[in-house]
Amino acid sequence: MTHADAADKTRFLVLHDYGMGGLWWWIHARSAREVVETFAEVEVIDHSDAVERAGTWDLDEVDIDAPTMPGGLAGLRAQRDAQRNRVGFGALADRSVVHLRRRWDGEDDVDPAVYLMEVGPDGRRLRQVELGDDGTAVKSSPDDWPFNPPVVDLFDPDVVGMEISRDEFEAAWLRAHHEDVGQ
């Protein structure tokens, strides 16, 4: 990297949250958007307290233009490279709210269900309706969840096929009940 290249880049704290933990890096890039366009399933962390805390950790420092990446990050770049030329890549990335339908086939001791999700620009759920195979409809929001990591990567072209209308989501939300209220 030349001195001019370094001057054009900023250090970003980047997280790949894989559910039960996460991988962290410092990535030097021209923008936060460049980071999420280059690596699948990552988020740029910009909360000042988290950035300050991470400053004490021994994290890999990576230049976004480097030909090789550390473990974990290389696979996320390859995943994004494979998505880049597919129809729908990034189609949902600039939306403030996206409504999605996702089927869960009953893994991890969770009953099969369809999840209707209202998702923010960071891929985190804002609201959710769980439609059970038995006809139940349970609604929930961040106050109901102990954790709320990103559940979708809005650059992923496969997510485009999950999109539903706001009207469909709102109709299901109105019909659903909170689990603690009963049916």
What local confidence, expressed as pLDDT, does residue 59 receive? 95
What local confidence, expressed as pLDDT, does residue 7 receive? 67
Is the whole-model pTM more than 0.75? yes
DSSP tag of 163? B
User: Distance between CA 147 and CA 18 in Å, rounded?
Assistant: 12
What local confidence, expressed as pLDDT, does residue 181 receive? 47
What local confidence, expressed as pLDDT, does residue 179 receive? 80
The domain segmentation of the chain, as residue ranges, is 3-84, 98-181
One digit per residue, pLDDT tens: the chain, 183 residues? 444 456 699 999 999 988 778 999 999 999 999 999 999 999 999 999 999 999 999 999 999 999 999 989 999 999 999 999 999 999 999 999 999 999 987 666 777 789 999 999 999 999 999 999 888 999 999 999 888 889 999 999 999 999 999 999 999 999 999 986 444
Return phi, psi of residue 100, to 5°. -135, 155
What local confidence, expressed as pLDDT, does residue 116 receive? 98
Task: Look at the block and give the residue holding tokens 């759920």.
Answer: 125
Strand, helix or coil at 70? coil
